[in-house]
Amino acid sequence: MLNYVHEIPTKLYFGKGQISHLDEILRSLGKKVLLTYGGGSIKKMGLYDTVIDILKKGGFEVTELSGIEPNPRIESVEEGVRLCKENNIDVILAVGGGSTIDCSKAIAAGVFYDGDLWDMVASYHGTLKALPLVDILTLSATGSEYDGGGVITNLKTHEKIGNSYTYPYASICDPTYTFSVSKYQTASGTADIMSHIFEGYFSRTEDSDLSDHIAEGVLKTAIKYLPVALKEPDNYTARANLMAISSVACSGIPQYGKQDTGWPCHAMEHELSAFYDITHGIGLAILTPRWMRFILEKDPSCTWRFVRFAKNVWGLDGDDEKALAIAGIEKLEEFFAQSGIPKNLTELKITDEHFEEMAAHANDGNYLKDAFVALTNEDIVEIYKACL
Ligand code: NZQ
Ligand code: ZN
């Protein structure tokens, strides 16, 4: 078990009705609020009106940035920074999914960044000085409500880059706000949560039991409740469990004491989104089982991990280790297919045209040499091809 240092400064307000704390949280941070949101889902579900009502009653001065895109663009970050500077904003209130929260984190840091904002996104810096950020989460997926990271896209240069900006000061996580999430985004979000676990679970560290048990618990929760949420979108227990695992999965806690793996499926997926603007979790669900099959073939010494996955997550058993490992991967494929996730990249109209360029970028500077099983550029191209 490796050493670790961990701090999450975000205060989570989890559960029905927690928006009652919004006024007091914002009041402690300032008067001038930049309200950020996406393409309008918060208006359809009535949350926009609720928020505006609280802000008006509280006497807050509100500036709005709407239309933040899924896979948020650098242009939205630039616009947000301009609005913050022009209106002397004290605090950002992000209402939405990971894209709105990520974009708002980059805006919060961008206000203090001296230089080109794409340079801020593209160069590693650690968390930065930033405006305080409060969010109201509406989609269980990324864990952005409980981490410092944000992912920003530059479609002109086909780059999608994750970096750390700032942690939310507070996150309001009311599962009822996710009742309106479509089946497609619910399945995609759950695949993202599961991938955040896989990226750390599949590591060479054998003796970090707590992390492994937490990881398996998150996966089993996802497997139990995604089908329920798909069938009954307003099932509170299902939505609440999915929201709780969203925050835990990307928090770093399920990776306590474990080797850093470089998050290979995320590295590969960000290239798919950068080139084809696809939904993050869908790309991950297509890539993950192919990556699993590939590494199992490339390096059979990793079979033990897949055996554990098959036994502890899917409840499978058997004496033939290779067969058991493959059976676990097949169960995962079946689960994603039953959740309505597209089966391959061809369904998303993606061809092999850019695979080499994407692989080189995903593996920039041999980035994935420390992955659970090291990946070369050629390996990545093969994994992409298996996804067609
Ligand atoms: O834009 P609106 O109208 O709000 O609609 C959104 C969007 O179309 C909709 N939606 C959100 N909440 C809803 C809703 N529709 C109905 N009812 C609701 N309650 O869902 C669509 C997708 O929203 P988005 O915010 O893009 O989804 P998600 O939360 O999956 O975020 C994806 C982004 O986060 C990044 C991804 O790469 C991607 O750019 N990630 C961020 C991470 C982080 N900060 O730690 C880690 C992740 O691995 C990930 O890379
Ligand atoms: Zn993710």
Ligand nearest to the CA of 181: 1
Question: How high is the ipTM of this complex?
Answer: 0.99
- pLDDT digit string (tens) for 225-250? 999 999 999 999 999 999 999 999 99
**Candidate of 66, 102, 153 to mutate for ligand 1, largest count of ligand atoms within 8 Å of Cβ:** 102
Q: How far is CA 184 from CA 195, 316, 334, in A?
A: 16, 28, 16
* Joined tokens for residue 23: 């006024």
Give the separation between CA 218 and CA 249, rounded to whole angstroms.
7
**Which among 65, 99, 261 is the best mutation to test ligand 1's pocket, defined by most ligand atoms within 8 Å of the CB?**
99
Gap between the Cα atoms of 165 and 201, Å rounded: 25
What is the model's pTM? 0.98
Share of the chain above pLDDT 70, in %: 100
CA of 73 to the centre of ligand 1 (A): 13
What integer pLDDT is reported at residue 365 of this predicted model?
A: 82
Domains of the chain: 11-177 (3.40.50.1970), 182-386 (1.20.1090.10)
For 195, the 3-state DSSP assignment is helix
State residue 127's pLDDT score.
81
Q: Is 324 helix (H, G, I), strand (E, B) or coil?
A: helix
Closest protein CA for atom 14 of ligand 1 = 181
Residue nearest to atom 8 of ligand 1 (CA): 70
Please say if the pLDDT value at position 128 is more than 90. Answer: no
C-alpha 54: how far from chain center: 29
Please report the pLDDT score of residue 124 as a whole number: 79
Q: Could you report the per-residue pLDDT of 75-114, keeping only the tens digit for each? A: 999 999 999 999 999 999 999 999 999 999 999 999 999 9
pLDDT digits (tens, 9 = 90+) for 22-59: 999 999 999 999 999 999 999 999 999 999 999 999 99
Residue 227 in tokens: 């089908």
HEC sequence for 233-274 = CCCHHHHHHHHHHHHHHCCCHHHCCCCCCCCHHHHHHHHHHH
**For the residues 319-343, what does the mean pLDDT come to?**
98
Of the candidates 358, 363, 361, the residue with the CA atom closest to the CA atom of residue 387: 358
Indicate the burial class of 274 (C-beta count within 10 angstroms; 0-12, 13-18, 19 or more).
Answer: buried
Whether the predicted pLDDT of 125 surpasses 90: no
Q: Is 7 helix (H, G, I), strand (E, B) or coil?
A: coil
